[in-house]
Amino acid sequence: MIVAAVAGVILLTALFLATQHQSSPPTQSAAQPLAASDAGAVSHKITDGPPPPQHSAAAASSKPAAKQWGAKFKAADDYSAFISDALPAALAGDGRAAFYIGDAVFRCALVVKLYRGSEDPEAQLNQELAAMTNAPQWGKDLRAARTRQCLPLAKEDPFAQLPAVDGGYTSKYWLAQALADGDALAQVRVVGGQLSDIAAAKSMSDSDRAAKLKATDENLRAAVESGDPDVLFGIGMLLADGRYSADPLNGLAVALAACELGYDCSAKNPDNSFSNCALSGECPADADLTYYLQKSLDPEQYSKAYALSQIIQNAVREGDWETVMGYLKVRLQL
């Protein structure tokens, strides 16, 4: 069976999705600084609280290309500096800038909690690394790099000069702003949360489940129709999870198509769960999604996924969203 054959890929999918989860959008009113509460992740719902204020059409029409924010975020060695760079665009209605600000806040929440007020952050970090007695050196190096990305946020709140909002400028807030601005990556985040909520529900009527799945399908279509390779990769990996998909191989085909359409599917992209394999030296430095699928699938299954990816690529380029959606059927394994 395909589901069994892609078990290794599903593990990669689970790791990918684990890096994508943030909290639900917030309500607004009084002020708090950057909150450490983002360290706990829950699912996302578009309906949880009102979105941030809408932006003018003029602001929206002047958004920079969404891809630049992804590239800047992935290259950042200081998330505080990244937030300062992206903040004016986010406040002017750039949903992708808001999305990545939220990711920075989310990824740094635990470091902010542990290091805020530290008199000597480097000494504290070195003590933590020394306690990792069983960790390989590459793991320690990765921990150190990720901690240092976040240390400036533990020293200074980049949102201190903004108007007060209830709960502070958490990842929930920035996800809500990204959704209000129609960002497709934020829509994928919501779809993942919706599917997780439905799958985890211990009791739900057939009518409620059908209504929720209909809303999920509508959000999925809206994200797909962006044609954004980053978005398509996220959707593909989501629906490569056998808990959510009628055919996980179709999800893998969508992810492969996204690679050809412009998403960075290499192990050099830290957002790809398999990047750690390359860092550890267990995989080639130039490994990419194709490499991992060829290792995980038998030749016939890989050939099928590749052939489907060619069809999906062409459909995306032609704006044939019906064909693309035909390969993205949600079926929950309840």
pLDDT of residue 39: 36
So what's the pLDDT on residue 98? 97
pTM for the model stands at: 0.81
Contact present, 54 and 310 (Cβ < 8 Å): no
Q: Coil, strand, or helix at residue 266? A: strand
Q: 234-252 pLDDT, tens per residue?
A: 999 999 998 898 899 999 9
Rounded Cα–Cα distance for residues 176 and 179 (Å) = 5
* Phi/psi at 245 (5° precision): -115, 145
Strand partners, 266: 288
Which residues, other chains included, contact 184 with Cβ-Cβ below 8 Å and sequence gap of 6+? Answer: 222, 223, 226, 228, 231
Neighbouring residues of 313: CB distance < 8 A, sequence distance ≥ 6: 257, 260, 261
Low-confidence winner among 42-46, 101-105, 280-284, 319-323 (lowest mean pLDDT): 42-46
Tokens read off for 123: 């000494």
Residue 21 burial by CB count (10 A; 0-12/13-18/19+): exposed, middle or buried? middle
- What is the distance between the alpha carbons of residues 326 and 223, in angstroms, rounded to a whole number? 14
Tokens of 110: 């635990």
Average pLDDT over residues 55-81: 71
Q: Is the pLDDT of residue 43 over 70?
A: no
pLDDT tens digits, one per residue of 251-296: 999 999 999 999 999 998 988 888 888 888 888 888 999 999 999 9
Residues contacting 71, CB < 8 A, separation 6+ = none
Q: Which of the four pLDDT bands, split at 50, 70 and 90, describes residue 3? A: very low
